Structure 1
Amino acid sequence: MADIHHQETLDRIDYLTVAVYRSCFLLAAIAIVLMSLNHLAFGMPLLVLSALIAASCVHIYDKTIRWFIQASGLLATCLLVAQLLPTIALGAAIAVWCGLSIKEYYCFRIRLIKITPLMLVFYWLCVALPIWQPLLYLSAGLSALLLFSIGVAKFRQPFHFDIGDKSKFQI
């Protein structure tokens, strides 16, 4: 996980997982936009699957945090596939994106990431408790913009930033 002062030798799997992880931020942003435009049949699975894939490709030293993020992605996917509790499935996917956003802030101090988890939770609340439609659009737009910004910022970084020191990973 993010040690910009350590340049590890990367193999093909490292490059692949980092590229996929970074791409998932962009896919999640697209999914939120699609969902806000009432394309739930495509947007919701895209958001859940991008969360699961990003959680599977994340490089985090601490296995407890890594497990929590991956378990949230798996829960979201299982609920989506079983067509049970779609709001909870969405919440579990949002939990993945909140965790990954916090990880990115902790590692790289990319501006505006601090508010991303709050905006994502607010978006989930707007979906779960349909209060006022303009709030849903506002929270969806800001959430998508923030996730897209993180994705773009991540692609500007060298790939070794995401890997860090491989010897520090807990198995």
Structure 2
Amino acid sequence: MADIHHQEKLDRIDYATVIAYRSCFVISAIAVACVGFGAASIGIPLLIISALIAAACVHIYDKTIRWFLQASALFAVCLLTAQVFIPLAVGASVAVWCGLSIKEYYCFRIRLIRITPLVLIVFWVCFALPIWQPFFYLVTGLSALLLLTIGIAKFRQPCHFDIGDKSKFQV
């Protein structure tokens, strides 16, 4: 996970995974907006696939946390592929985005990230149990804005911030 004081020598794969990971935050923001504002047939697969790519590209030292994020993303993809329990698939991808948001908060202390998991969970509850539509629009917009904010903040950082010390990764 991030260690901004350690600058590792990065190779092409490191740069590719960091750029893919950061891009997925922006893509997830677009996906959430699509889900909430009438293009769910595009937004749901985009949200789930972006969670899978981000989970595959994340650089986290702890293999248990890395495994949980990747397993949640794969579970979401399996449900989406089988076209069963789509709200659960969206929930699994939201779990990935919540985990990645928490990781970004602990690594970089980017403002507003602390509320991102809570807002994403409320977004998912409103998606899974359509109750009050105006509130769903508000939570959707806020979720998309928070994910986009994280993505923009990540792109402003040097790539080595995401890699940290390669010798600390659990295999």
Q: TM-score w.r.t. structure 1 length?
A: 0.99
Aligned residue for 1:76?
76
Deviations 1:76-117 (CA, angstroms, capped at 9, x unpaired):
000000001000000000000000000000000000000000
Following the alignment from structure 2 to structure 1, what is the Cα–Cα distance between the partners of residues 87 and 127? Answer: 8
* 2:45 maps to amino acid: P
Look up the SS of the partner of 2:99 in the other structure: helix
Matched residue, 1:85: 85
- Give the equivalent residue in structure 2 for 1:41: 41
For 1:99, the equivalent position in structure 2 comes to 99
Give the CA deviation at 1:14: 0.2
Give the aligned partner of residue 115 of structure 2: 115
Between the aligned partners of 2:163 and 2:13, the Cα distance in structure 1 is 11
Unaligned runs of 5+ in 2: none
Count of residues in correspondence between the two structures:
171
Q: Post-superposition shift, 1:40? A: 1.3
Quote the residue 1:7 is aligned against: 7
Query: Are 1:51 and 2:43 counterparts?
Result: no
CA deviation after TM superposition for structure 1 residue 36, in Å: 1.0
The residue that corresponds to 1:66 in the other structure is 66
Structure 1 residue 41: Cα displacement: 1.1
1 CA distance for matches of 2:168 and 2:157?
21
- Which residue pairs with 1:158 in the alignment? 158
Runs of 4+ in 1 over 6 A off after TM superposition: none
* Residue identity in the other structure for 1:72: S
Instruction: Report SS of the residue matched to 1:139.
Output: helix
Percent of residue pairs identical:
70
Unaligned residue ranges in structure 1 (runs of 5+)? none
Give the aligned residue type for 2:34.
L
For the residue of structure 1 that corresponds to 2:144, the secondary structure is: helix
In structure 2, distance between residues paired with 1:38 and 1:110:
30
TM-score, normalised to structure 2's length?
0.99
The match for 2:124 is 124
Residues in 2 aligned to 1:17 and 1:138: alpha-carbon distance in whole angstroms: 32
Q: CA deviation at 1:38?
A: 1.6
| Shift in Å, 1:129 | 1.1
